[in-house]
Amino acid sequence: MLRRRSITINRTIKQNYHNAKIKSESNYHAWIKLTLSALIPLMIAIFTIVTTILQQKLSTQQREQEKQDSLLLRQQTERQEDNLQKENIFATYLDDVSKLLLLENQTNSLIHIRMKTLSALRQLDPTRRKYLFLFLYESGLIYRYPEQPYVSLLKLIDADFNGIYFEGTIETKCSLIHLYLYGVYLSNSSFIHCYIDYSNFSSATMYKTLFLNTLVMRTSFKFTFLDQANFSNTKISDTTFKGASLIECDFTGARWKENDVDFINANLSGAMISDEQLRNSTLYNCILPNGTWGPIRTNNLVVNGDAEKNVSFNLVFCIC
pLDDT score of 319 more than 60? no
Alpha carbons 298 and 13: distance in angstroms, whole number:
135
Confidence label for 221 from pLDDT (cuts 50, 70 and 90): very high
* Averaged pLDDT score across all residues of the chain: 83
pLDDT score of 5 more than 60? no
Question: How far is residue 172 CA from its own chain's centroid?
Answer: 27
Residues in the chain: 320
Confidence label for 314 from pLDDT (cuts 50, 70 and 90): very low
Helix, strand, coil shares, percent, the chain, to 5? 45, 15, 40
The mean pLDDT of 223-248, rounded to a whole number, is 97
Question: Of 123, 118, 116, whose CA–CA distance to 100 is shortest?
Answer: 116
The mean pLDDT of 243-255, rounded to a whole number, is 96
Task: Establish how many alpha carbons lie within 13 A of residue 8's alpha carbon, considering only the half-sphere containing its beta carbon.
Answer: 5
Q: How far is residue 118 from each of residues 24, 89, 115, 161, measured CA to CA in Å? A: 101, 12, 5, 10
The mean pLDDT of 102-131, rounded to a whole number, is 90
Q: What local confidence, expressed as pLDDT, does residue 69 receive?
A: 77
Q: What local confidence, expressed as pLDDT, does residue 52 receive?
A: 83
* Cβ–Cβ under 8 Å, residues 268 and 248: no
- The phi-psi region of residue 130 (left if phi > 0; otherwise alpha if psi is between -120 and 50; otherwise beta) is alpha
* Cβ–Cβ under 8 Å, residues 193 and 170: yes
Alpha carbons 130 and 136: distance in angstroms, whole number:
10
Domain parsing of the chain, residue ranges? 1-92, 144-319
pLDDT score of 177 more than 90? yes
Pick 209 or 295 by higher pLDDT: 209
Question: How far is residue 231 CA from its own chain's centroid?
Answer: 20
Task: Kindly give, in sequence order, each residue whose CB lies less than 8 Å from that of residue 296, ignoring residues fewer than 6 positions away.
Answer: 284, 285
Q: What local confidence, expressed as pLDDT, does residue 59 receive?
A: 81
61, amino acid identity: Q
* Cβ–Cβ under 8 Å, residues 314 and 265: yes
- When mean pLDDT is compared across 9-13, 136-140, 219-223, the lowest value belongs to 9-13
Q: Give the chain's radius of gyration (CA, Å).
A: 42
The mean pLDDT of 290-314, rounded to a whole number, is 59
- Phi and psi at 242, nearest 5°, equal -60, 125
Q: What local confidence, expressed as pLDDT, does residue 315 receive?
A: 32
pLDDT score of 11 more than 80? no
Percentage of the residues of the chain whose pLDDT score is greater than 90: 54
Burial of 299 (0-12, 13-18, 19+ CB in 10 A): exposed
Pick 301 or 60 by higher pLDDT: 60
The mean pLDDT of 24-52, rounded to a whole number, is 70
- Rounded to two decimals, the pTM is 0.71
Confidence label for 73 from pLDDT (cuts 50, 70 and 90): confident
CA dihedral 289, 189, 186, 107 (to 10 degrees): 140
